[in-house]
Amino acid sequence: MPEKAYLALEDGTVYEGEGFGATGVRVGEVVFNTSMMGYQEIFTDPSYARQIVTMTYPQIGNYGVNPDDVESPHPWVDGVVVKEYSPYPSNYRMTGNLGDWLHENNVVGISGIDTRMLTKKLRVNGSMKGCIASGEQNPDELVERARGWQGITGLDCVNIVSRKEPQVWTDGVHDLAGSIISKSELKYHVVAYDFGFKESILRLLVHHGAKVTILPASTPAEEALELKPHGIFLANGPGDPEAVTYAINEIRKLLAESDKTGLPIFGICLGV
């Protein structure tokens, strides 16, 4: 029988449901995502680091998980909130179920709560600090843990998710059978600053003919320019952009170089 689970918000609201995934207590920013599918891609997106993600679609887990539909090697979310968790998935590509995968990756999940009510609250009030927990817990203590968390403002999450060493990426997109489509010729060289890359972005850059050199977020601009790229890509990522001062300073140097030479610079999400 599933154990009890709780989601406590900083405003004192407590939702009680059933736990799945890992057992434990996590704090994070409670947000919602309205996608009808693609939950595995969402949970492995580094942009969701330090967040507890509410899925608005009512049933989650029905097609299981597999090693191809990921945006990074492991989940980055701190918690998962769903209306109904499906423990018996069915899909020809699946290699396991969502609950086991979350348990293996130490992510706490809660099901059986009114996600519509929660989503409306977040829509009106904005994201909120929260605490998700499974097992026997004191709800009042969970509310205090949510209130005591520092929150996303001023939090440098990029340093958590960014690669620590440079990496050359040449893998293209997957075909319907799950095999990587290789490109015989990569005519362009893109240098990419890793603030929390989704792998699908890297695969699409390769698919369009670019070898990608991924650099840690703190890489000096001079080192990036020494690689003689055809363009610079500034990735997506989590947390508060204002806290990533080391990257802001280097991007200013890259923009100055772009003004002089016309070097293309493209950013998305946090990279903008």
pLDDT per residue over 173-232, tens digit each?
A: 877 666 666 666 889 999 999 999 999 999 999 999 999 999 999 999 999 999 999 999
Contact 87, 20 (CB under 8 A): yes
- In percent, how much of the chain has pLDDT > 90? 91
Residue 176 burial (CB count, 10 A): 6
User: Do both 89 and 62 map to the same domain?
Assistant: yes
| Nearest C-alpha neighbor of 28 from the set 149, 195, 190 | 149
Sign for the CA dihedral angle at 186, 192, 194, 198 comes to negative
**Domain span at 210:** 159-271
Q: CA-based diameter of the chain, in Å?
A: 65
Pairwise CA distance, residues 191 & 206, whole Å: 12
User: Do both 48 and 124 map to the same domain?
Assistant: yes
Is 201 inside a domain boundary? yes
User: Do both 122 and 219 map to the same domain?
Assistant: no
pLDDT (0 to 100) of residue 270: 86
Pairwise CA distance, residues 67 & 40, whole Å: 10
Is 154 inside a domain boundary? no
Please say if the pLDDT value at position 68 is more than 80.
yes
> What φ, ψ does residue 232 adopt, rounded to 5°?
-115, 135
Return the amino acid letter for 76: W
In this predicted model, what pLDDT tens digit does every residue of 10-56 receive, in sequence order?
999 999 999 999 999 999 999 999 999 999 999 999 999 999 999 99
User: Do both 38 and 91 map to the same domain?
Assistant: yes
